Structure 1
Amino acid sequence: MMNLEITNPLYYGVPFFFVLIISEYLLTYKHDKDHYNAKDFWSSFQVAITSGIVAIFTKTASIAVFYMLYKGFADLRVEWLGYQYIDWTIWWVWVLLILADDLCFYWYHRLSHTVRVLWAAHVVHHSSEQYNFGNAIRNGIFTLFYKSLFWLWLPILGFHPVMVVTVMGVSTIYQYWLHSSKLPKLGVMEEFMNTPKLHAVHHSRNIEYLDKNHAAIFMFWDRLFGTYKAYDDNVPAEFGVIKGPNSNKLVNIVFHEYRDLWQDVKNAKTWQDKFMYLFSPPGWSPDGSTKTTKQIQKELEQEKQLA
């Protein structure tokens, strides 16, 4: 079995993140004092510290499971696929892994928007009404407990766990610079790569933009699966979520959607409705009193056709 030791790129990325925050703040505080809000940033910082502590344990557990699958399926790979491990020294293996990682992230991210119990964890990242490098560090704490499930198939196929973790770190670093409303459109790059304007679509609460642009790096996943949306200059992005915590307190930011979900499940009249509240898209209700993103967008399209 090959020996592979690669330092997690996030060790280098975190200091870079804070350099970007400070730089963006210094460049904007004179002409756009609302771009950063002290209370909002402090909330994001608290979320970042808390999730960082939790990640120490969840990432350790994830790597352990990756190694177990990587080694445990070695003989089966020989029998079914004709190899024991994937050779990390081949350059195109890394290209394949980057593409596979992006596909993993796409479905992890998309389902985190379209399955309510997962949205309750992920909504933390979208809860700020600011869109700057400061709120890029506001990541869901409970997403850490299920995110790695979407990557399990990679060590099963024979990708070394350290390779997988390394590529996940590179993806995280790439996504960081996407979180600024001050960066312009980037021309032809918008066609195939994720950019700040395309990610602004993802972070907005405009009906037209909801549940779009889920990929981390490459936008062809969104094009392939029907979730791509270009930024429309005639529809300026309004950031945040339709039903947010309306608070800068850490506990409210982290738990507000769980609280609402619990109330819906508790008040549901049938077990089927309880199940649907948990696993249907946010906004689902048995009587149609609240609506999902697709239902709201369909109504908007019908209104435009009638206008």
Structure 2
Amino acid sequence: MILNEHFGSYRLIFLVLFVLAVVAEMIWNWVADKKVYEIREALSNLFLLAGYQFTRKFVTLGYQLFMLDFFYGLAPIHLPKTGWTWVACFLVVDFMYFWFHYASHKLSFFWAFHITHHSAERMNLTTSYRLNWLYALFNVFFFVPCVLIGFSPSMVVSCVFLNIFYQFFLHTEAIGKLGFLEGIINTPAAHRVHHGSNKQYVDKNMGGFLLIWDRMMGTYQPEGEKVRYGVDGSYNGSNPFKLLFGGIIDLFRPTRK
């Protein structure tokens, strides 16, 4: 019950900040005539966000907590909730997020779900929650090692939430490069690269908060030439159901490349 109340608070904070940030970006887009919004694509993103929040509240969050709690019961030790363990948990979660994201780009099964997010042809804050509703059924297993080493399920889920929430602010063209922070933490410039279909940008900058994991794996790429967003093929567009299930259906097509 307490955990549900915490996540209810998180959702309220998210909603307020989401609305304020999107409105501010829309005003900037209109004043500066940047054309980073297209009405059909933005509405599709908002529809996917609403479905994602609905399924998370009533289905996937409980499922994820159940799975993490099961493996937490197998952990040889249970770490206390202190300031240091929260920091350690956030770093471990961020490390596991990198591998989850890496697999989402490199393995066809996971890419079939993740392609929903990369199908956006414009970069704005609504793009951040252009997410496949079903992916949460699988991505939880990437964070099982976090509970097996002793971090509580509630701590792990909270750190994942903070990681994803931070990334919301990366989906924008309103913020330029951030100097010495580039290549250390994820920034809007680094994440624009990640969404690029330019040859040198594909499968780059896959960290969540820290980009040191990308430097270690050789997948870091600074922003250079103008980014072309979207993916090759028929996955782009504004039909939310095509965006949700197009990649999954293609998994079972014998002619799929």
Match of 1:36 in 2: 37
Indicate if the aligned counterparts of 1:29 and 1:35 stay in contact, CA closer than 8 A.
no
Partner of 1:7: 6
The residue type equivalent to 2:29 in the other structure is T
* Partner of residue 93 from structure 1, selected from 80, 85, 109: 85
SS across alignment from 1:86? coil
1:207 pairs with 2:203: no
Q: State the alpha-carbon separation in 2 of the partners of residues 183 and 134 from structure 1.
A: 15
Quote the Cα distance in structure 1 between the aligned partners of 2:33 and 2:233: 26
What amino acid does structure 1 have at the position aligned with 2:128? Answer: A
Give 2:113's aligned amino acid. A
Matching residue within 96, 107, 111 for 1:119: 111
Structure 2: give runs of 5+ residues left out of the alignment. none
Q: Distance in 1 between matches of 2:148 and 2:21?
A: 37
TM-score between both structures, scaled by the size of structure 1: 0.78
Match of 1:187 in 2: 179
1:66 aligns to what? 68
> 1:110, 1:214 within 8 Å by CA — same for their partners in 2?
yes
Following TM superposition, by how much is the alpha carbon of 1:98 offset from its aligned partner in structure 2, in angstroms?
1.0
13-22 or 114-123: bigger deviation: 13-22
Provide, for residues 66-96 of structure 1, a one-character-per-residue CA deviation record: whole Å limited to 9, x for no partner: 12222243xxx1xxxxxx310112x221221
Separation (CA, whole Å) in 1 of partners of 2:208 and 2:128 = 13
Q: Percent identity?
A: 26
2:250 matched to 1:260? yes
Matches of 1:244 and 1:197, distance apart in 2: 26
Inter-partner Cα distance in structure 2 for 1:151 and 1:188: 30
Residue pair 1:191, 1:219 contacting (<8 A) in 2 also: yes
**Displacement of 1:33 after TM fit?**
5.7
Tell me the distance in 2 between the aligned counterparts of 1:263 and 1:189: 43
Offset of residue 14 of structure 1: 2.9
> What does 1:154-233 align with in structure 2 at a 5 Å threshold?
154-232=146-224
**Amino acid corresponding to residue 6 of structure 2 in structure 1:** T
Aligned to 2:102: 110
Q: Write the distance in 1 (CA, Å) between the matches of 2:221 and 2:193.
A: 7
**Shift in Å at residue 258 of structure 1?**
2.5
Deviating 4+ runs (over 6 angstroms): none
Note the residue ranges of structure 1 that are not aligned, 5 or more in a row: 78-83, 268-276, 278-282, 284-307
Per the alignment, do residues 244 and 110 of structure 1 end up closer, same or farther by CA in structure 2, a change over 3 Å counting?
Answer: farther
Residue identity opposite 1:40 in structure 2: E
Bigger CA radius of gyration = 1
Distance 1:72 1:259, change over 3 A: closer
Deviation at 1:40, TM superposition (A): 0.5
Instruction: Write the distance in 1 (CA, Å) between the matches of 2:31 and 2:88.
Output: 45
Kindly provide the amino acid, as one letter, of the partner of residue 99 in structure 1: L
Q: Secondary structure at the match of 1:245?
A: coil
What are the Cα deviations for residues 186-236 of structure 1, in whole angstroms up to 9, with x where unaligned?
Answer: 00011311000000000011011000000100000000111111111xx11
TM-score of the two chains, using structure 2 as the length reference: 0.92
Q: Work out the CA distance in 1 between the residues paired with 2:108 and 2:130.
A: 19
Mapped partners of 1:114, 1:88: distance in 2: 35
